[in-house]
Chains A and B, each alone.
Chain A
Amino acid sequence: MTTYDALTTWALIAAIAVPTFLIRFSFIGLLGRVGGVPDWAERALAFVPAAVLAALVIPDIVTVRATVAATIGQEKVIAGLVAAGVAYYTEDVLATIAVGMGVFWAIRFGLPLVI
C-alpha cells in the first residue's frame, strides 16, 4: 500500500517522463549509427501491447467469483464483454466508451437484475 504525497507524485512523473523521452529520441537521436531495432527485440516488442494491456485491464474488470455464472454476472464483466464486441467491430475508442458506460449505468441504475 503506497500513498503518493506531492513530492512523490512529481518524482513519479519525472521517473516516467525521462525514460519515455529517451525511448522516443533513441533512434531519431542516434541517426544512422545503429542499424535499427534488432530482429529479436522487434518480435518481442510486437507482443508488448497485447500482453501489457491484457494484464492491466482484465483484472480491473474481472473479479473471480465462486462460480462461472457469478463471475460472468458482474456489472463490469457484462459491460466489458459488450464493449469488447464494440471495439472489435468499430475499432473506435469513443464508441467503446459510450456503449460500455451505457451498459454499466443501465445495470447499476436501471436494471437491478444482476448483482
Chain B
Amino acid sequence: MERDALVRGLRDVLPILVGIVPFALVAGVAASRAGFTFPQAMGLSVFVFAGASQLAALSLVEGHAAFVAVVATAVAINLRMAMYSASLAPYFEGYAARWRALLAYPLTDQAFALSVATYRESDVDRRWYYFAVAFAIWAVWQVATAAGVLLGAGVPSSWGLGFAVPLVFLALLVPAIEGVPHAAAAVVAAAIAIYGADWPFNAGLLVGALAGITVGLVVAGWRR
C-alpha cells in the first residue's frame, strides 16, 4: 500500500517535473544576478522553496529594494498557500505533528492540486502519495536551481537573461486573470505600481497590490 502510493505519486508527478525545470533554472539565474553566493542561492531555494516568492524577492534585491518590502512581497505571494493548507488539513488529520510538519514544508501549488485531485477520486495512502509528489518536485527544483545559479554566473549581462524573470511572472499572471474582477485587480495594481515605481520602500508595489485586491473584491461584489 505504501509502496504503491509512492510509485503512483512519482508516476503522476512526472509531467509536472518537466514543467518546473525552466522555472527553477530562471530562479537560479536570478539568484546569481541578484549577487547571491551559491550557498545563499541554495539556502533561499531550500528554506523558502516557493518559486514565485523566490523570484519576487530576488528581483527586488537586485533592484536594491528595502528589506521590509522584499519580505512583505515574498510573504504576500505565499499567503495563497493558507488555502491549500486548509484543503489538505482534513486528509492529514490522523497523522502525528512531526509528520504533518514534514508534509507542510514542501507544500506547493502543484503538490496541492495533484494530491487533492487524487484523494477525491481514489483511496490511495495519502501520506506516502503526497510525500512522493511533494519531495519529487522539491528534489527537481533544487537540482535545476543549482544548475541555474552556475549557468547564470557564466552568461554575459548583455544577453538580458534577467528578462526571463518577468516572463515567468507573466506566464503565472495570465492564467490568474480568470474574469473581469481579476482583470480589474491586475490593471489597478499594475497602474499604481508603475506610477509609484519611485516611491520609497517599494510602496508602489504594496499599495498597488492592496488596491488591486480591494478593487477586485468591489467589482466581484457588483457582479453578484
| Complex contact A42–B83 (CB within 8 A) | yes
| Complex contact B190–A59 (CB within 8 A) | yes
Which residue of A31, A52, A58 is within 8 Å of B73 (Cβ)? A52
- Residues of B near A12 (CB, < 8 A) are 57, 61, 67, 70-71
Given the contacts A32-B90, A49-B172, A97-B168, A58 and B71 also touching, CB distance less than 8 Å: no
Closest B residue to A79 using CB positions: B163
Tally inter-chain residue pairs, CB-CB below 8 A: 272
| Complex contact B47–A28 (CB within 8 A) | no
Interface residues of A, CB < 8 Å — how many?
Answer: 71
The answer to whether the Cβ of B137 comes within 8 Å of any Cβ in the partner chain is no
- Residues of B near A93 (CB, < 8 A) are 19, 22-23, 168, 171-172
When chains A and B are docked, how far (Å) is the Cα of A108 from the Cα of B160? 9
- Residues of B near A26 (CB, < 8 A) are 82, 85-86
| Complex contact B75–A19 (CB within 8 A) | yes
Closest B residue to A100 using CB positions: B167
- Residues of B near A44 (CB, < 8 A) are 213, 217
Cβ of B217 to closest chain A Cβ, rounded Å: 6
